[in-house]
Amino acid sequence: MSEELSEASAVRPQMRDRFAFVLIVFATFGLQLLTLVTGVVMARLLGVEGRGLVALVVAIGLFASQLTFGGSLPAALTKLVAERQVTARDGLGGTARRRAWLVLAPCAVAAAFVPVLQDADGGEVLATAVIVFVVTFQTLVFQVLAGCLQGEGRFVRMAWVALVPQGAFTIVLVVVAAASWSWSAYDVLAAYVVTGLLGVVFSWTQLLPARGGVEEIPEPAMWSEARRNYVSSVRPLDGLGLDRILVGGLLGTVSLGLFATALAVSNLCRLVSNAVRVIVLPRVAMHQADPEAQRAVVRRWVGITTGLVVVIVGGLEVVVEPVIRLAFGEEFVGAVDCARWLIVADGLLALRSVLIAVLQGQGRGAIASWIELAVLPVLLVGIVAAAHQDSLEGVGASLVVAGLLSCLGLGAVIQRGPRPTVSVSS
């Protein structure tokens, strides 16, 4: 592969990792900029309620995808494709042809949730359900393809692939705003669906071509690997959109519109941590037989992540109010206090995602799963309590507490180190 690391040099992998990290960070910051632009344009086109409907549809699609095949399956595919040094088309093509129909089940379930969460007439509910079905499908397939690209070592292409649908969607909305067209929330969602499907097609074209003559990855191995690290891969604290679904369901679409605005200006840390996680997991696993080298990898990347989190959180806290006021308008000033909490929560959750990647690389993903499950009730109770008080700030504070508890638990496990007597088996 063009991005395969040389075993003969200890310097070249580090240089390539840093180069890949810088490019991925630049691309992900570009993605964040596009997300911010689309958020601003949608807010001005649709207002708080319309913006809330779009956010609800995206949240349901993400929830259904992450909870099913879009959660731990991409990580399993990454590991298996990388281990066997095969292309995804060679190693997984047969399984994909046999099992592709399975992705329709979570799409149908996601669509069935719409009447429960949306208070509208029958026609609008039906239209929303159809859109949720398609959004779930494209989200799920996109995540699976990203896992295949990562397994093939196409780290940088993963970042550019992520830019395509968001970039196309941004262009469409900017044109609509510049032309002063009057679009409804359903028009915006239709554009989101079309650009998303184009992104899926582009992702498929970026996979390495089939080489032939390669043994297919056994299907049982794929499902077994996906089950092993299910919870730590799904990351229910921030990977399912539970906060947005609960805010929309308990506080309504107006509050969800404000919450979505706060999220739009508070997720820079998570984007940086995503770039780190792509590199950290395979590097930690590669040094499994050399504890000193492994600890050096952990110290280096956890240190880099912590430094970036401190800088980003501090900077965002300074500019969040004028950014929301100027970019989104006075109608969305009510999101400022919540955004301040979400910025801190994003930093903690970003650090936690890197710590989870460390444990998965050490073969201890199950421990990360138990910590995630232990902290999840704290988050859910906090959000429900805050919703009963009509407090978006309380929702943000609940996320801060959950992120802090998770970092403390994961950090303690990593500091203690793996037990020498425990062997890791695949």
pLDDT digits (tens, 9 = 90+) for 70-84: 888 887 887 778 777
- What is the structure's pLDDT at 414? 93
- What is the structure's pLDDT at 25? 74
- What is the structure's pLDDT at 2? 40
- What is the structure's pLDDT at 92? 87
- What is the structure's pLDDT at 405? 97
CA atoms of 342 and 395, how far apart (whole Å): 9
- What is the structure's pLDDT at 340? 94
Tokens representing residue 122 in the block:
């029958």
Of the chain, the percentage scoring pLDDT greater than 90 comes to 23
- What is the structure's pLDDT at 162? 80
Tokens representing residue 37 in the block:
């632009």
Note the pLDDT tens digit of each residue in 115-124: 877 666 767 7
- What is the structure's pLDDT at 8? 37
pLDDT-based confidence at 16, cuts 50/70/90?
low
CA atoms of 342 and 338, how far apart (whole Å): 6
- What is the structure's pLDDT at 395? 93
CA atoms of 364 and 243, how far apart (whole Å): 27
CA atoms of 334 and 234, how far apart (whole Å): 31
Q: What is the mean pLDDT of residues 87-104?
A: 87
Q: What is the mean pLDDT of residues 21-48?
A: 78
Note the pLDDT tens digit of each residue in 365-403: 788 889 999 999 999 999 999 989 888 999 999 999 999
- What is the structure's pLDDT at 11? 47
- What is the structure's pLDDT at 423? 40
State yes or no: pLDDT of 307 exceeds 90: yes
State yes or no: pLDDT of 166 exceeds 80: yes
Nearest CA-CA partner of 230 in 59, 333, 56, 76: 76
